[in-house]
Amino acid sequence: MKTQIDSIIETDGALILGAGIAGLFTALKLAPLPCIVLAGTRPGLSGSSAWAQGGIAAAMGEGDSWQSHAQDTIAAGAGLCDPAVVELVAREAPDRIEDLVAYGAPFDRKSDGTLALGREAAHSLPRIVHVKGDGAGAAISATLAARAAETDCITLLEGFHAIELALENGRVTGIFARSGLGPDARLILFRARAVILATGGLGALYAVTTNPLESRGEGLGMAARAGALIADPEFVQFHPTAIAIGRDPAPLATEALRGEGAVLVDASGERFMTAIHKDAELAPRDVVARAIHRQIMSGKKVFLDCRDAIGAEFPHHFPTVYGACMSAGIDPVRDLIPVAPAAHYHMGGIASDVQGRSSLPGLWVVGECASTGLHGANRLASNSLLEGLIFGARTADDVRGQLIAGAMRGLPPAPQRFASPAPPHILREAMSRDVALERDAQGLRAALGVINRLETITNEPALLNMAAAAKLVTAGALARQESRGGHWRSDYPEAKAPAVRTFMTLADAEKIAANAESQPSRISK
């Protein structure tokens, strides 16, 4: 059954889906080109961006260099970073921080007025700009939203749920979005001369995540269902230290705490990271996350001990984490913080080039929903907000030169519309059980079975977008028969040479899933 479009909203300029840091920064860089920014939630508070705690990496300190930032990024990426992309990001980073300063971002400064730089895991030097200790995401998001709201050519629209890309003659010309719920729901076609996805990550497809529940891979799913090429979908980063107090999503204990000297201990107060990696608690994220996961799987509890390293400074230096702990009755000045790994960041995404172009004509992608080749198999801490800024600016430059007049002619077929679904519990459980920190063929086949069954019982576009995103992650993980960075296969524990990135379409993932159904898999609960 096809449904009616209730209204059409058109712009002569660009349409951006997503009002996190990537979407807002791109909109500001596009000015004076007219631009509509469409989002589910309020710009300034929207997406993972507003929750970012650590800050943004840029080689701006004495003795630091873009080469050192690039080297650290490549080392974390476990052989899969694109060196040309890493170089341009590391080189352009200081300029993008200066842009944020010009927009009014209130970065912490030293007494001499220069930027205060923090250190995070796997960075060889302090190079993280931050705001009020752990409040970078909230402050930068609020600053960009305020600038966007006062910029005449930018129209900010919240409360819309995008469900499908509109294509005309093979070119992306718009987005179908729903406003309202139930019988009052309206289906609106937004059309523009350039369409930019800035829809963030997919952590909320997992039962245990640090991401807001709106980060459920819908932009990735929409693009994949329209035929876009997807890169490295299997690489999901798990943050080692989500605060384990049974909340969904789980609050985060920022990496900067370990940067300040906080240590990981078991219930008897013993450190275990020193025996696992030379950098101990500051080893790459996947190493720390898997070490904690194994402790927990062996029946032990894991805690972050901040008492000696941070102590009484905690409430002032890390107010967000302090608030989260205190709300659960844990005083980190005196108590150990219980921690566990949680789905945190998607290194994979919609394949894009250095101008933000996807493989679909008319569609650009920016921020966490894109895969530029920067992160490889494992993201270096505080490189993701940076990626949104770098490619936001580059996309804006490219879009200005690429606007095609008259691309919108006919009326693309409208999708079916239903109420906004949450990702089903069974999907989130399957992803957390079988597509998380330790994977094997049996578990991945079982997860594909769950996803396949889900697709057969729904025609709700939003749910199909989530299922497509989950299928790409799982099929990519099944196809990659090695362990590398964030992707660990217990049945293939070694890395294989040469290191190759994954590029696949949804049709490729469907084939892998169909084939997996004919193989033995664990009975899913």
Ligand X SMILES: Cc1cc2nc3c(=O)[nH]c(=O)nc-3n(C[C@H](O)[C@H](O)[C@H](O)COP(=O)(O)OP(=O)(O)OC[C@H]3O[C@@H](n4cnc5c(N)ncnc54)[C@H](O)[C@@H]3O)c2cc1C
Looking at the annotation, which residues are catalytic? 285
Judged by CB under 6 A, which stretch of 71-79, 193-201, 226-234, 314-322 contacts ligand X? 193-201
Query: Which one of 11, 14, 23, 142 is in contact with ligand X (CB under 6 A)?
Result: 23
Q: Is the dihedral of CA 4, 6, 9, 15 positive or negative?
A: negative
Q: Residue 133, interface with ligand X (CB under 6 A)? A: no
Q: Are 180 and 394 in contact, with CB atoms under 8 Å apart? A: no
Nearer to ligand X, 223 or 302 (CB): 223
Query: C-beta of 524: minimal distance to ligand X in Å?
Result: 27
Query: C-beta of 366: minimal distance to ligand X in Å?
Result: 7
Q: Residue 219, interface with ligand X (CB under 6 A)? A: yes
Q: What burial letters (b/e) apply to 39-68, b meaning 16+ CB within 10 Å?
A: bbbebbbbbbbbbbbbbbbbbbbeebebeb
Residues pairing with 337 in the sheet: 304
Closest among 269, 241, 428 to 338, alpha carbons compared: 241
Quote the tokens at residue 169: 């003659």
Give the largest Cα separation in the chain, rounded.
68
What distance in Å separates the CA atoms of residue 24 and residue 44, rounded to the nearest whole number?
Answer: 9
Query: Which one of 215, 359, 395, 521 is in contact with ligand X (CB under 6 A)?
Result: 215
Nearer to ligand X, 23 or 133 (CB): 23
Nearer to ligand X, 263 or 381 (CB): 381
Residues pairing with 285 in the sheet: none
Q: Residue 46, interface with ligand X (CB under 6 A)? A: yes
Return the SS3 of 351.
strand
Query: C-beta of 217: minimal distance to ligand X in Å?
Result: 8
As to burial, measured by CB atoms within 10 angstroms (0-12 exposed, 13-18 middle, 19+ buried), residue 457 is exposed
Q: What burial letters (b/e) apply to 118-145, b meaning 16+ CB within 10 Å?
A: bbbbbbebbbbbbbbbbbbbbbbbbbbb
Judged by CB under 6 A, which stretch of 6-14, 102-110, 198-206, 354-362 contacts ligand X? 198-206
Q: Are 196 and 364 in contact, with CB atoms under 8 Å apart? A: yes
Query: C-beta of 480: minimal distance to ligand X in Å?
Result: 22
Q: Residue 257, interface with ligand X (CB under 6 A)? A: no
Q: Count of residues binding ligand X (CB under 6 A)? A: 44
Q: Residue 155, interface with ligand X (CB under 6 A)? A: no
Q: Residue 345, interface with ligand X (CB under 6 A)? A: yes
Query: C-beta of 31: minimal distance to ligand X in Å?
Result: 18
Nearer to ligand X, 368 or 489 (CB): 368
Q: Residue 371, interface with ligand X (CB under 6 A)? A: no
Binding residues (CB under 6 A) for ligand X: these are 17-23, 39-41, 46-49, 51-56, 136-137, 160-162, 198-201, 210-211, 214-215, 218-219, 252, 345, 367-368, 382-385, 388
